[in-house]
Amino acid sequence: MLFVGLDVSVAETSVCVMDRDGGLVLEGKVRTDPVAIGLYLAKHAPAAERIGLEAGGSSSWLCRELRDQGFPVVHMEARHAHRALSMRINKTDRNDARGLAELMRVGWFKPAHAKSVEAHRSRSLLLARQRLINMRRDLENQIRNIMKTTGTMLGSTAGRGFSARVRAACDGSEILAAMCMPLLQVVTTIRDQIKAYDRLLLGMARRDETARRLMTVPGVGALTSLAFMSAIDDPARFRRASDVGAYLGLTPRRHQSGEMDWSGRISKLGDGLARTYLFEAACVLLGRIERWSALKAWGVRLVRKVGSKKARIAVARKIAVILHCIWVDGTEFQWAVAPAEA
């Protein structure tokens, strides 16, 4: 019975093969390619009981490809593997591969879900869009700071008013135009690309039957539904719908030892983008949607009891649970009649 550890890097992957008693059978390196790794394993460890690799940038891809070749690959949770490997004095690729093989042998590991190609595609598009939004904000703030040094105050600008005010200010000053117009042109290009991402993501959500059902929940739009689907990927891997809130970092941390027992802020573990969109959905539900539902009534009562911020987090967690249930059941959001003064 053999156990294998794979320490994956960009160019090469360190391989360690260990027997059931902890003896080293083979150590080596192979090119980081699923075909090359598969041939290496088929030659040196064809009857491996478990093959472990740590979750990382390319690990999902390698995990899918190796499983398709028939290998019993275990995708290990990164934080758990890191804690185990950090106990070693010397950190090298060889030692990491040996440590991963040891974890496979003793069974002291926590499996992590290897996401599908569709989930990675949606997440990559959402992250690219968010990166452009951050870049646009940074450039707009830079333009504001430049103008402040010359005594030009743009004031509050919403929507398209920012570009118009910047151009108006630059028309009267060649120096200001030389400093700000190149940045404004970049901002305009970024806005166009954000709109292109919006059209692409909206089309993806409209063509997906599950995403359309998720969007029946008040406050949930195309971006929120796609972010949630890319974060969860497979709803069947959660035994209870309530586990989704903890997976997305929307549950409070707890510290209990002896007589000490306290709950802190939410953990903020998991997919931060999906968590942000769920929080925004809760804000829209409580602040902008006028139609009443049992969910909105519950959130309003919670606002009066614990305050706006905690209530919105609780509503975001509730929305995550509802989205999971809708995904699993194949149903849509049920608008229950609730009095406006609930």
**Angle at the Cα of 60 from the Cα atoms of 59 and 61, rounded to 5 degrees:** 90
In the structure encoding, which two tokens stand for residue 259, read together? 């007589």
pLDDT in tens, 68-82: 999 999 999 888 888
Residue pair 140/180 in contact (Cβ under 8 Å)? The answer is no
Helix, coil or strand: residue 61: helix
Output the pTM of the full model: 0.87
Q: Where are the beta strands (DSSP E) in the chain?
A: 2-8, 12-19, 24-31, 48-54, 73-76, 252-257, 260-266
Reference 212, options 199, 225, 200; nearest CA is 225
- Confidence band, pLDDT 50/70/90 cuts, at residue 100: very high
Residue pair 204/122 in contact (Cβ under 8 Å)? The answer is yes
pLDDT in tens, 23-61: 999 999 999 999 999 999 999 999 899 999 998 888 889
Measured distance CA(274)–CA(221) in Å, rounded: 12
